[in-house]
Amino acid sequence: MIIATKISEVRAQVAAWKKEGLTVGLVPTMGYLHEGHASLVDKAVEMCDRVVTSVFVNPTQFAPGEDLETYPRDFEHDCTLLKAHGCHLVFHPEVSEMYAQDAATYVEILSEMPKQLCGQTRPIHFRGVCTVVSKLFNIVIPDKAFFGQKDAQQLAIIRRMVQDMSYGIEIVGCPIVREDDGLAKSSRNTYLNSEERQAALVLSKSIFLGQQMVKDGERDADKITAAMRTMIEGEPLARIDYVSAVDGVTMMPIHRIEGSVLVAIAVYIGKTRLIDNFIVEE
């Protein structure tokens, strides 16, 4: 497995692979990898001849006061996991390699889409995401790129960016990977103490409740989100950021379950903000 820290190294290696007629998959990550990330690499290995994984904590998607400095990092562990899952190249740049000191260009979706859900309380987040993913696309020029469904709004926004910017890249969404007790895998789960870790199960329990209501025939999205909200409010350590049902493509609020629908939640457990969701396709 190649470890590259320079853009020029990545471009040279990918060019050599493409000269051989090989397809290239990209898995963008911020590191501190877990089984959820591993599932993306597995899917990329399955669908592509060569796989590039980026490990880069992107500063432009963090607002002042967010957890940029404390975001968990363990590059040695990341490399062990990536090698075990068949990754061919790890791109691990310094911030100065990705952003010049006087960098002044961003990629941003100017519709209401990034203002919904996580964008309500993290207004610059998706501008940073689109900018760094766009840069990674320009550096790697992959045939396919792989993203987790846990970050469903991010996935929808990247799909829209790829469409609007005419990137010839297939975006592959991969299912949420959960712990044995249901909690969605997240690098931020490491912030939780034992009491908070137990309390965090209210997220997945509320997701499973919403899914069951849909399965039982409920189509009133407001009733579903109200029931989920009531369940979460029953956990003393939980503080709701949002519990919302939105159109699965545009991210705009909806009131009935029809077509493609995303039911998404963001909840603080203590100081840690966690997200989860489920999708309905009808």
**Closest Cα to residue 129, out of 56, 238, 33?**
56
CA distances from 138 to 10, 89, 224 (A): 11, 16, 41
The reply to whether 37 belongs to the active site is yes
Per-residue burial over 236-265, b if 16 or more Cβ lie within 10 Å, else e, is ebbeebbbbbbbbebbeebeebeeebbbbb
The strand pairing partners of 264, in sequence order, are: 244, 277
Residues 6+ apart with CB under 8 A from 227: 209, 210, 213
The residues, any chain, with a CB within 8 Å of residue 104's CB and separated by 6 or more, are none
Count Cα neighbours of 104 within 13 Å in the Cβ-side half-sphere: 1
Active-site residue (options: 34, 37, 77, 125): 37
Q: Which residue has the tokens 């590039």?
A: 52
Residues annotated as catalytic (active site), given as ranges: 37
